[in-house]
Structure 1
Amino acid sequence: MNKGIFKRIIQNFIRLVTLLVAVCVIAYFLIQISPIDPIQAYVGAGVAVSPEQRENIENFWGGNGSPLKQFLTWSRAVLQGDFGVSLIYRRPVLDIIIEKFNHSILLMGLSWVLSGIIGYTLGLLMGINRGKPGERVMKTICLSLSSTPTFWVGLILLLIFSIGLGWFPVGLSVPIGMLTKEITFFQRVYHALLPALALSFTSFSPVALHTRDKVFTAMESDYVLFARARGEKSKEIIKNHVVHNTLIPAITLQFASFSELFGGSVLVEQVFSYPGLGRAAVEAGLRSDVPLLLGVTLFSALFVFLGNSIANILYQWVDPKIGEMDYE
């Protein structure tokens, strides 16, 4: 194995461990100082219990002792793969995360592909037609959507395509009244398509604007001028030179958008009642499900770190000088 690659793997592993430890400490103690009362959430709102019953419940859930002792107990269990039991679902947190992520990964995957295709296509068109009225309109659309709340875009799409035209279901990830074994992959995609489109509309702008600048730089480069001098047509120049030199940077930037993708999915899943990981995180926060909330927080940090790591690897692959600078 190359020494530089091995060193890079070790550094990424150390960063991941440091990140997860920091997230554990900060998230746990933020919950400790918050008004969340997991015991009352477990009992139920408006239900009174005696001090003895409350103490028994605390002992059962490990809520007794100092915050530091509780944190160490929880950390030791997490290291063993035990994230606790969800107060809402009465099931292991890890099982809930896996189940919900199976829904969210389809939604985020579709959105990731759609935002990449839309962003790169618009960026390519803007770069080729820079300075023209159409380019200004597309740039305005990109800037407007990048500052538009995700839930607002979702509500507009829901009103138009689900309620108005009836082309898509109003919500949920599968048809109502069907057994799991009867649901096809295409039905899942059909239910996830509109929320994925809403999520992609607010995340393709960085790729489009970045590609626009890269395309303009490529169109003004010496090798494109030389290609024109050789008599190559505009379509050939775009295909052989512009796309070749701008596609990889766009894909690299797309991988770096994992954090925005995950954050946006929380709002989109709420709007479309999509039972994914983001909706589970909201329910955990509103209903004081501390074990589930901590588990989702850790998993989201791991997910975002993975996306950023892939983006860094692609950056170093596209430009090896970046990797050399990291290890000087």
Structure 2
Amino acid sequence: MYAKKGTLFIVKNTLKLASLLVAVSIISFTLVSHSPMDPIQSYIGADMTSVSPEQRENIAAYWGLNDTNTTRFFHWAKAVLHGNLGTSLTFRIPVTDVIAERFFASLALMGLAWAISGILGYLLGIIAGMRKGTWVDTAIKGLCFTIASTPAFWLGLLLLMCFSVWLGWFPIGLATPSGILNEDVTIYERIRHLFLPALTLSIVGVSNVALHTRQKLIDVLDSEFIRFAKAKGERSLSLLWRHGIRNISLPAISLHFASFGELFGGAVLAEQVFSYPGLGQAVVQAGLGGDVPLLLGIVLFSTLFVFVGNLIADLLYQVIDPRVRRRRTT
């Protein structure tokens, strides 16, 4: 019984992922094909004036730029199915190598920011919910509303000016000190370069988790079974631990895993502000330089990244809330 349910779950999510990747591929390729960027100029670079028309034609023929958009899409899709995402016009290496190299830098940044924002938002939401109507609740809500309306790039620039330019506590940018070999960089220096970008993403991601956790906790504390527990003499902390944590954890986890897309979008801005060499900065370079293979490769990878985050959340639902398991097995 459970093996059959597990097989259906795998097949369902595999088909969902496949259809999502196909739809994203078609839409992304169509948008990129109508971009005003000249891929030949992006490939040649500053030496554009020294290239003859015949050389331009040879380059266009080599990259298949003279074909129709439909033909180019099917050639690209066929190569993708064989694991070949093409060659980056900006970095002159395979797209898979660029993604593999940049992903681990972005993973450290997004993973740290995701964990900090989730924990901090969850704790702030609990405090605000337990202190509903007090000055503490008002202060936390005001802080969350302010954060929610603050652009990530503006916050990053503000932190950069305060802690790097004025105080000089942290480096201005990059992931490692310039002029030092990668293997010679200490963990301390890596953390110093990672701190401000991670802090920017952490602050931006706090508000949604905090506000949703606060509202869910208020709803739980106003429910009938909580009133019955209070009549039996249970105190606030006991009520929170025995009845509140499990009920408010599910929506918090759901929201936080669903924020993978927002996290990646925030990383694009943060990495650009701090010149952090991750996937976010590679997206900007690919977009500005008309690097179509790299841009499409990162779009597919980010789609897979967000889908996996939502899938993990779906699996965790069943671990935290037994009611979800019962609905799935009936």
- Please give the TM-score of this superposition, normalised by the length of structure 2: 0.92
Query: In the alignment, does 2:33 pair up with 1:62?
Result: no
What is aligned with 1:277? 279
Q: Distance in 2 between matches of 1:53 and 1:324?
A: 65
Q: After the TM superposition, which residues 172-211 of structure 1 pair with which residues of structure 2 at under 5 Å, given as runs? A: 172-211=174-213
Q: Distance in 1 between matches of 2:42 and 2:58?
A: 15
Q: Distance in 1 between matches of 2:167 and 2:22?
A: 48
Per the alignment, in what secondary structure is the counterpart of residue 173 of structure 1?
Answer: coil
Contact 2:109 2:194 in 1 (8 A): yes
Match of 2:115 among 89, 113, 116: 113
Q: Distance in 2 between matches of 1:74 and 1:60?
A: 13
What is aligned with 1:91? 93
Return the letter of the residue paired with 2:182.
T
Percent pairwise identity? 50
Return the letter of the residue paired with 1:203.
G
What is aligned with 1:245? 247
What is aligned with 1:40? 41
Q: Distance in 1 between matches of 2:293 and 2:26?
A: 14
Return the letter of the residue paired with 1:155.
L
Which shows bigger deviation, 45-54 or 27-36? 45-54
Q: Distance in 1 between matches of 2:120 and 2:192?
A: 19
Contact 1:173 1:192 in 2 (8 A): yes
Which shows bigger deviation, 208-217 or 260-269? 208-217
Alpha-carbon distance change, 245 to 327 in structure 1, aligned in 2, over 3 angstroms? closer
Per the alignment, in what secondary structure is the counterpart of residue 207 of structure 1?
Answer: helix
Per the alignment, in what secondary structure is the counterpart of residue 263 of structure 1?
Answer: helix
Return the letter of the residue paired with 1:75.
A
Q: Where in structure 2 are there 5+ consecutive unaligned residues?
A: none
Q: Distance in 2 between matches of 1:10 and 1:186?
A: 45
Matched pairs, number: 328
What is aligned with 1:30? 31
Query: In the alignment, does 2:167 pair up with 1:162?
Result: no
Q: After TM superposition, give the deviation of residue 183 of structure 1 in Å.
A: 2.1
Return the letter of the residue paired with 1:122.
L
Return the letter of the residue paired with 1:175.
P
What is aligned with 1:171? 173
What is aligned with 1:20? 21
Q: After TM superposition, give the deviation of residue 223 of structure 1 in Å.
A: 4.3
- Provide, for residues 242-298 of structure 1, a one-character-per-residue CA deviation record: whole Å limited to 9, x for no partner: 234323432232111101000110011111111110100000010111111111111
Contact 1:110 1:193 in 2 (8 A): no
Contact 2:156 2:273 in 1 (8 A): yes
Q: Where in structure 1 are there 5+ consecutive unaligned residues?
A: none
What is aligned with 2:312? 310
Contact 2:164 2:170 in 1 (8 A): yes
Return the letter of the residue paired with 2:40.
I
Q: Distance in 2 between matches of 1:39 and 1:326?
A: 53
Q: After TM superposition, give the deviation of residue 237 of structure 1 in Å.
A: 3.1
Return the letter of the residue paired with 2:26.
V
Which shows bigger deviation, 162-171 or 79-88? 162-171
Q: After TM superposition, give the deviation of residue 88 of structure 1 in Å.
A: 1.0
Return the letter of the residue paired with 1:30.
L
Q: Distance in 2 between matches of 1:35 and 1:324?
A: 53
Query: In the alignment, does 2:253 pair up with 1:260?
Result: no
Q: After TM superposition, give the deviation of residue 317 of structure 1 in Å.
A: 4.3
Q: After TM superposition, give the deviation of residue 313 of structure 1 in Å.
A: 2.7
- Provide, for residues 101-126 of structure 1, a one-character-per-residue CA deviation record: whole Å limited to 9, x for no partner: 11000000011011111101110011
Q: Distance in 1 between matches of 2:22 and 2:6?
A: 24
Per the alignment, in what secondary structure is the counterpart of residue 169 of structure 1?
Answer: coil
- Please give the TM-score of this superposition, normalised by the length of structure 1: 0.93
- Provide, for residues 2-53 of structure 1, a one-character-per-residue CA deviation record: whole Å limited to 9, x for no partner: 3222212111111111111111111112111111211111112472322211
Q: After TM superposition, give the deviation of residue 235 of structure 1 in Å.
A: 3.0
Match of 1:293 among 292, 295, 302: 295
Q: After TM superposition, give the deviation of residue 217 of structure 1 in Å.
A: 2.3
Match of 1:141 among 140, 143, 162: 143
